Structure 1
Amino acid sequence: MKSIASFFLYFILFCGTAQEQAIRLGVAGLSHGHVGWILGRENKEDVVMVGIVETDRNLAERLSKAHGFPMEMVFNTLDEMIAAVKPDAVAGFGSIYDHLAIVEACAPKGIHVMVEKPLAVSLDHAKKMNALAKKHNIHLLTNYETSWYPTNVKAFELLQQGTIGELRKVIVRDGHKGPKKIGVSKEFLSFLTDPKLNGGGAIMDFGCYGANLMTWIQQGKKPNKVTAVTQQLQPENNPKVDDDATIILSYDTAMAILEPSWNWPIGRKDMEIYGVKGVVYVDNQHDLRLRIAKGYSGYEEEQFRLEERPEPFNDPFSLFASVIREETVLPPYDPYSLENNMITMEILDAALQSAKTQRSAELKK
């Protein structure tokens, strides 16, 4: 039995400065490496963490010592946490397989949900989550780090403005040396390299970024077909899943090449957008280059060093709170949106099929 008195003492001491309208946030799972974003988040008045669900007590105690939350906040089940602290929203930080169960527990109670990318472990799970979100009228967002990159927003604007002309090709590269090589926690590594809990290896973990960005760039237009090839270059580290993939998305007048990998020597999340008149290089979160063609191989180049996006678009939890309060309405096919991420899951599902059958997979229009 949890000490509710102790919990609310913590709430008063640590969260007393929060505004009355602060979103009460529950955290479902602690095994995802991105959970530090909420546990280490600076004190703001938009979101207050009120409860955590984690069955691994050793993991919870380790993070409790690292981040200063009391173990009285930690519950064994979502239902127990929801009943005790009545959150307005829940953020999922367990395995990707757990996302469906979170929505199943929260949606009927009107509790909004945000999960880490990708939306779901499979298209089947995604369809069930989508149906629940719509039936119970909740927000269901998917958090991608690249969603708040000011360079991605600038690149999108340049394309929309016609600066580089009509779109022809996009190349998106995401990844790092591999989860074991970069030293992720044992709990994170355990589900990342499990085909059931993660849906695949690098093709899911990093392929989702490119699929998500392309769905945004194409404003919901689906590729006609998806062709994917996977490899396992580190069988000693990733024995059950792929760790390198190439995914080709074919549209009517454009093509995208996604290169998700756990074999990049240097971690990266970059993109190149080619139009008929020029190209935009998104080198990283802050650096962007625009080249306009001149003659055969010449060009004029403009370089940009961009500042962080303004609130609430510089923080996933601030944006989540703003959307819940209806202060922010996401634009069509925004990377956070459910409509985008349902198509993203269709693309990933097709990529998995293609890699398995060694044939291109067509998407239903």
Structure 2
Amino acid sequence: MLRTVLVFLFCFILNVPLSFSQEKPLRIGIAGLTHTHVHWILGREDLGDVEVVGMVEPNRDLAQRYANQYGYSMDLVYYTLDEMIAATQPEAVTAFGTIYNHLEVVETCAPKGIHVMVEKPMAVSLDHAKKMAALAQKHNIHLLTNYETTWYPTNHKAKELLDQGKVGDLRKVIVRDGHRGPAKLGINQEFLDWLFDPVENGGGAIMDFGCYGANLMTWLRNGERPNTVTAVTQQLQAENNPKVDDDATIILTYDDAQAILEPSWNWPMGRKDMEIYGLTGALYADNRNTLRIRMAKGYDGYDEETMVLKERPAPHNDPFSVLEAVVRNKIQLPPNNLYSIENNLVVMEILDAARKSAKKGKTITLKK
């Protein structure tokens, strides 16, 4: 009998600290529901790390449609960000409205000490991005920019191999991103209304998909700015995209390398892939999980290895898990990481220069 009691007490003592050490989920507010990437968090499995405590969406019809789809209460939906913050006290806010609205979200959240994650690109312009960065620094908040390609194991493995010298010194990178066009994908009208707006989105395909390549190349170069930016844009689907470009090619030059970014709403199928060429070989991140390594052999021969990669370990396999881990100081992201303010300020400088280059028909040299 005494032994049984002692065992019970031992187990109880062991379990008490565990129960007290369990953290409450990170309280997250959602600013806007019009960006369809919001399905990422609304349809996310409950991992116990984050809790959506409120949403901001003045379009009640849209909010109700998603409520019916995901089963949340309309009591969570507020008309304004200030109203939602006052009522729910979120620790972080994720922005899923227009790109133009990202600045306003940071202007509202930063002075209150609320961390922010925005969807790519960081802003509609370098000017907006600089204001966001200054607010984040002044009020000591985390400001992250989320890209789908951040979660691709192939991109991280490719950078690892490049940094190890697997294919020799970097000389050229080609990044292709896009799909056959938003109007052809059956995207809801609330998203299309601003995706095709040059003010609210900052442009068309050049912004929507050009940011991916700029983000990745800046990361591969460890934060280095290019020397020049040259861009050409076209409107190949005027009937679908009357106000913005739908195809672009952006060339970035560095002292010893070049990048070609090909964002488009005219691909026959969706794609997000990257090719990295060194002096002795090449890396092909064909998609999220398939990576090919080609090592040069003779004049035009090569040996090829194909790797099928598993998903990255938690929390690096999910944007909201990373947000929670960063805010709670569980992880510290390396300098110039894909989410970082530093990287995304360079991205916005590239995109601003690309739009200027396409408009003026000449190469833009960035100031050193």
What range is the shorter-chain TM-score in?
over 0.9
Question: Given the alignment of the two structures, is residue 141 of structure 1 paired with residue 144 of structure 2, yes or no?
Answer: yes
- Asked if 1:344 is matched to 2:334, the reply is no
Return the match for 1:256 from 256, 259, 280.
259
**Are residues 1:226 and 2:233 paired?**
no
Matched, 1:57 2:64: no
**What corresponds to 2:106 in structure 1?**
103
Correspondence for 1:175 among 171, 175, 178: 178
Question: Partner of 2:267: helix, strand, or coil?
Answer: coil
Mapped partners of 1:294, 1:203: distance in 2: 37
**1:321 and 2:324 matched:** yes
Task: Describe the superposition over 1:158-203 as per-residue Cα deviations: whole angstroms up to 9, x where unpaired.
Answer: 1000000000000000000000101111011111100000000000
Residue from 69, 72, 77 that aligns with 2:75: 72
Residue 21 of structure 1: how far off its partner (Å): 2.9
Matches within 5 A, 1:201-216: 201-216=204-219
Report the residue type matching 1:93 in the other structure: F
- Per-residue Cα deviation, 1:186-235 (whole angstroms, up to 9, x for no partner): 01111110000000000000000000000000001110000000000000
What is the TM-score with the length of structure 1 in the denominator? 0.94
Which string of whole-angstrom CA distances, capped at 9 and with x for unpartnered residues, describes residues 90-125 of structure 1? 000001011000000000000000000000011111
Structure 2 residue 294 is the aligned partner of structure 1 residue 291: yes
Q: Which amino acid aligns with 2:92?
A: A
Q: CA deviation at 1:299?
A: 0.7
Please, which of 118, 127, 130 is the counterpart of residue 130 of structure 2? Answer: 127
Q: Secondary structure at the match of 1:114?
A: strand
Report the 3-state secondary structure (helix = DSSP H, G, I; strand = E; otherwise coil) of the residue aligned with 1:180: helix
2:50 aligns with one of 47, 51, 56: 47
Identity %: 67
CA shift for structure 1 position 270: 0.2
- Corresponding residue SS for 2:101: helix
Amino acid across the alignment from 1:335: L
Aligned partner (choices 258, 268, 271) of residue 265 of structure 1: 268
Secondary structure, in 3 states, of the residue corresponding to 1:96?
coil
Letter in 2 for 1:312: P
Q: 1:196 aligns with which of 188, 195, 199?
A: 199
Secondary structure of the equivalent of 1:344? helix
How many pairs align?
A: 347
1:313 partner letter: H
- Which string of whole-angstrom CA distances, capped at 9 and with x for unpartnered residues, describes residues 50-102 of structure 1? 00000001110111101111100000111000000000000000010110000
Q: How far 1:20 moved relative to its partner?
A: 3.8
Aligned residue for 1:157?
160
Q: Work out the CA distance in 2 between the residues paired with 1:57 and 1:197.
A: 20
Alignment partner of 1:279 is 2:278 = no
Q: Distance in 2 between matches of 1:364 and 1:335?
A: 23
CA distance in 1, matches of 2:324, 2:352: 30
Aligned to 2:3: none
Q: Does 1:242 align with 2:245?
A: yes
In 2: Cα distance, 1:230 partner to 1:283 partner? 25
Could you say which residue in structure 2 is the equivalent of 1:307? 310
Give the number of the structure whose alpha-carbon radius of gyration is greater.
Answer: 2
Question: Secondary structure in 1 aligned to 2:326?
Answer: helix
Runs of 4+ in 1 over 3 A off after TM superposition: none
Tell me which residue corresponds to 1:356.
359
Deviation at 1:356, TM superposition (A): 0.7
How far apart are residue 45 of structure 1 and its match? Answer: 1.3
SS of 2:305 mapped into structure 1:
strand
Q: 1:287-320, CA deviations, whole angstroms, 9 ceiling, x for partnerless residues?
A: 0100000110111111100000000010000001
Q: When the two structures are superposed, what TM-score results if normalisation uses the length of structure 2?
A: 0.94
State whether structure 2 residue 117 is matched by structure 1 residue 114: yes
- How far 1:364 moved relative to its partner? 2.3
CA displacement at 1:22 relative to structure 2: 1.4
Code of the residue aligned with 2:215 in structure 1: it is N
Q: CA deviation at 1:363?
A: 1.5
Which residue of the partner structure matches residue 11 of structure 2?
none
3-state SS of the aligned residue for 1:184?
A: coil
Mark the runs of 5 or more structure 1 residues left unpaired by the alignment. Answer: 1-18
SS of aligned partner of 2:186: coil
- The one-letter amino acid paired with 1:352 is R
Could you tell me how far apart the structure 2 residues matched to 1:317 and 1:364 are? 36
